[in-house]
Amino acid sequence: MEKLMVCVHKRQNALCRLICFPWAGGGTSLLAQWGKRLSNSIEVFCVRYPGRETRLNEPFAKDMTSMVNEVTSVLLKDLQEKPFAFFGHSFGAYLSFAVALHLKEKYGLEPVHLFVSGAHAPNSEAILPFKSISVSDAKDEEVIEYLQTVGGTPSVLLHNEDVRKNLLLTFKEDFRVLQTFSFEKAEMDIPFSCDITCFNGGDDKPYDLQGWQELTSGDTSFYELPGGHFYLLEPSNEIFLTKHITRCIENAGL
C-alpha cells in the first residue's frame, strides 16, 4: 500500500477518501499535499506510478491494464470499506476512468464523484491521434520542447542533464501506456451513476468534453480556469479546485 499510495495527512476518521492520479511523467508531490487543503472529512491519497520516486528501480508499466490491475488490487479493501472519489489530470484522468470502470464492472463499486482534468472524454475520437504517435522515433529535443510548451516542469530542472534524462524516459514510458488505453461505449450502456466534474485551463488546447455526459446518469459539470495545461499548479486555481472538490464530496450525501 505505502509503495503505491502516498498519504501525507492521514485521517483515519475521514468519511471519504480522494484518490488522485498524476499526469504523464509526474510524481506525487503536488497532489499528495492536497490533504492539508481539504476538510477533515476527506483523506487524500496519491497514486505513485512505477519507475519514479521510491519505485525508481521498478520497471515502468507496460500497458493501461496492468496499471489498472495494480491500483485495484492495492486499493480494493480500502475502497470497499469507505466511500471514495477520484481526481485525475491528463494521463491521470484516463487512468482514473479506467480504474473506476474496472471497479464498477468487476466489483460493483463506484466513486461518489469523478473529477477529471485536462483530458478528452474517453469515448471521443479526439483520443485516436495519440495512438499513431511513434514515441520511440520522437527526438529528445522535440519532447523537451513539448514539455516546455505545456509547462509543469520548472525550466531550471530541464537544464539539469540527469533530471532531463529521467523526465524524458518517464514521460515517454507513461505515454506508451496511454497509447494502450481503449474504451468503446456500448450504445445503450451508461457505466456510471456518479456526478462527473471536468476541469481544464482556458489557454490549453480544446478538449472534447461533451462525451463525459454520456458516461453517467448523474450530473456533469464543466469548469474552465485561467492558465494552460498545468493551470492546476497556479495557487489560486489550486485553492478553487480543492474547495470545489471538498464541497462536491461533502454534498454527495455520505
Q: pLDDT tens, 87-142?
A: 999 999 999 999 999 999 999 999 999 999 999 999 999 999 988 888 877 888 88
Distance between CA atoms of residues 109 and 84, nearest Å: 10
In the set 66, 89, 90, 136, the catalytic residue is 90
pLDDT above 90 (res 180): yes
Share of the chain above pLDDT 90, in %: 79
Q: What are the residue boundaries of the structural domains of the chain, listed by start?
A: 5-252
By the 8 A CB rule, do 192 and 112 touch? no
Confidence of residue 145 (pLDDT cuts 50, 70, 90): confident
Annotation says 90 is catalytic: yes
DSSP β-bridge partners for residue 198: 116, 222
Considering the entire predicted model, what is its pTM? 0.94
Q: Give the sheet arrangement for strand 113-117, strand by strand.
A: 5-6, 42-47, 16-21, 84-89, 113-117, 195-201, 220-225
Annotation says 89 is catalytic: no
pLDDT above 80 (res 230): yes
pLDDT tens for each residue of 206-215: 999 999 999 9
Distance between CA atoms of residues 243 and 231, nearest Å: 16
Mean pLDDT score of the chain: 93
pLDDT above 80 (res 1): no
Homologous superfamily of 5-252 in CATH?
Answer: Alpha/Beta hydrolase fold, catalytic domain (3.40.50.1820)
In the set 89, 113, 120, 229, the catalytic residue is 229
